[in-house]
């Protein structure tokens, strides 16, 4: 019910150029370079007949901002272009995107296979859908083909992947998952939040739908809650007119504007996140008080070659364990000065948190252990501050561990 359409790309552009220019050309009437904020709930029809045609789906155009909004459309088209998808959708939060996509794809009795270590709220949603709607789920480490196949059922409808997995940073081979899904007629849905479309594009590897908590790297400045999804136009249209429209997890025009603005610096931010993340990982790997570092950019990382083949960079997220365990981790976290003790990630600020007691606390301890989320694990989202300042802060805090 809006003018969202399959994007036509006659020229291949770089990722930063696409992030800046896709989806919007300066307003022909005003010449506005920035995308206007269409802060309106409804839209006026030129005639009764025009309104009827739009409601019938016979004519593109806007009706009501829950069904589509010009500012939101620019964001959706940008995300689709960046993810190399046919169409995009924007939501009020990352979990609004996750729930809308899954609810549109599965029915009672269907089965979902998800990666172990799922984001806590995604895990909670799967448990809720099982309890209330009898949608079954299994969690798999997905480290190889056998581990994926052993969790498949005749009713498997969706393979839901996070890669890197939060917060252990384990990777999933997207091409392998897509191959298996095609064999059984299932959809592959990938939460691409940790990488952003600048560093990883799952659709290029054969996956169907990509989801982001746009709060993170896409927004990048810690000032908006939002989610996006991208995939085939037919599926996106179905989601738009069912689980998004009727449940109502739509994004506000101003929040869409903030994400559009954030996308314009995505490339330079991600390059800095990668550069800083690599330096921090190497520093922690050599530190005498650190037992283990989980970061795909370290040659010691078990899936280093997969990371090099599947991603365009290693990102700014890492996790690590201290030799002194949980208590040492608490002392270290309580003594950081530059890094902020806060959940979320992908911000320009460096953020540090304790998954077992924070983001993954909803998951039973026994299940967390199976996921590799020990009580002593710390997750760090490396920001874009000057690297020497980040390293000095960590080194100082580690002296208390």
Catalytic residues: 66, 119, 191, 216
d(CA 155, CA 107): 10
Grouping H, G, I as helix, E, B as strand and the rest as coil, residue 138 is strand
d(CA 303, CA 308): 9
- 328 — phi, psi (to 5°)? -65, -40
Grouping H, G, I as helix, E, B as strand and the rest as coil, residue 190 is strand
H or E, element range at 22: none
Burial of 203 (0-12, 13-18, 19+ CB in 10 A): buried
> Which string of DSSP letters, residue by residue, matches 221-232?
SS----EEEEE-
H or E, element range at 331: helix 325-333
Grouping H, G, I as helix, E, B as strand and the rest as coil, residue 336 is coil
Q: Nearest to residue 358, comparing CAs of 339, 336, 341?
A: 341
The whole-angstrom distance between residue 313's C-alpha and the CA centroid of its chain comes to 16
Burial of 339 (0-12, 13-18, 19+ CB in 10 A): buried
155 token code pair: 């009713």
d(CA 221, CA 321): 27
Residues with Cβ within 8 Å of residue 265, at least 6 apart in sequence? 220
| Size (the chain), residues | 401
d(CA 210, CA 222): 22
Cβ contact 215:226 at 8 Å = yes
């Amino acid at each position: 019910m809006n003018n969202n359409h399959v994007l036509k790309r006659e020229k291949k552009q770089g990722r930063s150029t696409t992030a800046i220019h896709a989806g919007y050309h300066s307003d022909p009437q005003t010449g506005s370079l920035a995308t206007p904020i269409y802060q309106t709930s409804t839209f006026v029809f030129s005639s009764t007949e025009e309104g009827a045609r739009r409601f019938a789906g016979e004519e593109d155009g806007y009706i009501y901002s829950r069904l589509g909004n010009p500012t939101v459309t620019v964001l959706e088209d940008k995300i689709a272009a960046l993810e190399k998808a046919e169409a995009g959708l924007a939501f009020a939060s990352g979990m609004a995107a996750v729930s809308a996509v899954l609810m549109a794809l599965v029915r009672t009795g269907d089965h979902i296979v998800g990666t172990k270590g799922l984001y806590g709220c995604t895990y909670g949603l799967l448990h809720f859908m099982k309890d209330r709607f009898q949608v079954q789920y299994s969690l798999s480490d997905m480290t190889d083909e056998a581990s994926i196949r052993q969790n498949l059922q005749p009713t498997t409808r969706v393979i839901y992947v996070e890669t890197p997995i939060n917060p252990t940073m384990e990777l999933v081979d997207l091409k392998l998952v897509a191959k298996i899904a095609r064999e059984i007629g299932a959809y592959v849905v990938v939460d691409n939040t940790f990488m952003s479309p600048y560093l990883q594009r799952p659709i290029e590897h054969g996956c169907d739908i990509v989801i982001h908590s746009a709060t993170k790297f896409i927004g990048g400045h810690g000032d908006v809650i939002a989610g996006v999804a991208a995939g085939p136009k037919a599926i996106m249209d179905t989601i738009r007119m069912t689980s998004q429209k009727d449940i109502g997890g739509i994004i506000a025009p101003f929040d869409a504007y903030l994400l559009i603005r954030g996308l314009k610096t995505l490339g330079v931010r991600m390059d800095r996140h990668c550069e800083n993340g690599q330096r921090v990982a190497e520093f922690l790997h050599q530190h005498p008080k650190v037992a283990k570092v989980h970061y795909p950019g370290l040659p010691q990382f078990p899936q280093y070659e997969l990371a090099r083949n599947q991603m365009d960079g290693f990102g700014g997220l890492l996790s690590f364990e201290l030799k002194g365990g949980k208590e040492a981790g608490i002392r270290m976290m309580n003594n950081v000065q530059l890094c902020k003790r806060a959940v979320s990630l992908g911000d320009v600020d460096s953020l540090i948190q304790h998954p077992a007691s924070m983001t993954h606390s909803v998951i039973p301890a026994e299940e967390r252990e199976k996921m590799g989320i020990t009580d002593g694990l710390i997750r760090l989202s490396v920001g874009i501050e000057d690297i020497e300042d980040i390293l000095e802060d960590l080194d100082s805090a580690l002296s208390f561990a």
